Amino acid sequence: MNFDLVERAIRGRNFGVLSTVSRDGKPHSVGVLYGVSSPSKPLALYLTTNRESKKARNIARNPNVSFTIPVPRRFLRFMPPNCVQFQGTAEIIPFEDEAARDAFNESLIMRQTLKLEGRHVQRRAVFIRIQPSAIIFTYGLGVSILGLVRNISGASARTEIPRSRLENQAIPRLGDENSAPAR
């Protein structure tokens, strides 16, 4: 799988599912809007939240997260979407963070989200920065419907983020990098 194709899919969407770990070790998943760092910077996703939200509290205790981005098929909306998924680490950063604000200024809906969050949440508003681990998994991305029908297990793929696009070039890989995540 080509990283450029995966990055285009990530940048072409603004909705994903963030999964965190609760205090008692249970998974917690929530749909979120996200912005993406500039292509000239290390790959990171940003989302806004209230510092008292469950996702923020979970991340403060345990920064390990997973993130899934559904990528609907353009002409075959009745088919399940393709997806991009990865593990990574998250951190709470100030609502004034310039890189996060830049990521949200890329589209009208994200600019509006930023305004609403600042207006309604005010002092409790923060960003969450998600830094993917080095391996990103995909399902169905770049695979034709005919290819999917002929070999459904062949629709799973993985790609490595180029070292130049990782925040910390020595980031350890999370999980088993030799196999796709369980479905």
d(CA 104, CA 158): 27
**With 80 as the cut, is the pLDDT of residue 145 above it?**
no
Q: How far is CA 157 from the centre of its chain?
A: 17
CB 63 within 8 A of CB 78: no
The pLDDT value given to residue 176: 46
Tens-place pLDDT, residues 61-108: 999 999 999 998 776 666 678 899 999 999 999 999 999 999 988 888
Give the Cα separation of 100 and 171 in Å (integer): 21
Three-state DSSP state, 172: coil
Query: Residue 171: is its pLDDT beyond 80?
Result: no
Q: What is the pLDDT of residue 173?
A: 44
Tell whether domain 3-165 is in CATH 2.30.110.10.
yes
Residue with tokens 């600019």: 111
Give the residue extent of every domain in the chain: 3-165
**The tokens 């696009």 sit on which residue?**
165
CA dist., res. 81 & res. 83, Å (int): 6
61-66: which pairs have CB atoms within 8 A and are 24 or more residues apart? 61/21, 61/23, 62/20, 62/21, 63/89, 63/90, 63/91, 64/21, 64/88, 64/89, 64/90, 64/174, 65/18, 65/19, 65/20, 65/89, 65/90, 65/130, 66/18, 66/19, 66/181
Pick the residue with more confidence: 181 or 62?
62
Residues 19-55 pLDDT 10s:
999 999 999 999 999 999 999 899 999 999 999 999 9
Q: Provide DSSP, 1-54.
A: --HHHHHHHHHT--EEEEEEE-TTS-EEEEEEE-EE--TTS---EEEEEETTSH
